Structure 1
Amino acid sequence: MNWIFSHSSKSLRNVFLHPNEIGKGYGKQIIQLLINNFGVNTVHVNKDNENAKMFYLKNGFSIVNDTNRQF
């Protein structure tokens, strides 16, 4: 498990889970912890990553920009 978070911008860049750990609720726990404890209000997701987009949409985020930028 790994994540990149910018505290100053309250923006989540990436959350990576090992494929064997996906679907066990760990991602949701991480997202809730970052929202509740650190005020995360944005997340950057590759627009071609449909699984990640669906995950964040299900967890209360909405799409505000659709770009192909690499960070």
Structure 2
Amino acid sequence: MTEYFHQVNLFCHKDSNLEITGFMGIADNNLEMLFINPESRGKGIGKELLMYGIEQQKVKRVDVNEQNAQAVGFYKHMGFHIVNRSEFDGTGKPYPILHMELKC
């Protein structure tokens, strides 16, 4: 069996106490993950991280679980649009994934 690995670059946001409040992972212009501490949501941290990813790391794509309406809405608000849909997630489970790209 051949195994493939790709490098994911991680970036984090820290508060004034140097506690990590959110992080994202980027690989090949694709946002692989974006997590915000639940206690820190609604403070613009996700937007700040994503804008850094777009402007400095050239993020152009993201895959989102279709059932995560909050995330889908966030990425649409940030300028992404749906370009494709997969019936199954990356592990073959029946969780539809929306493939989104940043509008030019």
Is the CA contact 1:14–1:45 (under 8 Å) kept in the aligned structure 2?
no
Task: Say which structure is richer in strand.
Answer: 2
Letter in 2 for 1:3: M
Normalised by the length of structure 2, the TM-score is 0.62
Normalised by the length of structure 1, the TM-score is 0.87
Name structure 1 gaps, 5 residues minimum: none
Q: Indicate the residue corresponding to 1:41 in structure 2.
A: 60
Runs of 4+ in 1 over 6 A off after TM superposition: none
Task: Say which structure is richer in helix.
Answer: 1
Q: Indicate the residue corresponding to 2:81 in structure 1.
A: 62
Larger radius of gyration: 2
Aligned counterparts, 1:1-71, within 5 A: 1-6=22-27, 9-67=28-86, 68-70=88-90
Name structure 2 gaps, 5 residues minimum: 1-21, 92-104
Q: What is the root-mean-square deviation in Å for CA atoms of aligned residues?
A: 1.3
Letter in 2 for 1:69: D
Higher relative contact order (CA 8 A, sep 6+): 1
Q: How many residues align?
A: 69
Deviation at 1:65, TM superposition (A): 1.6
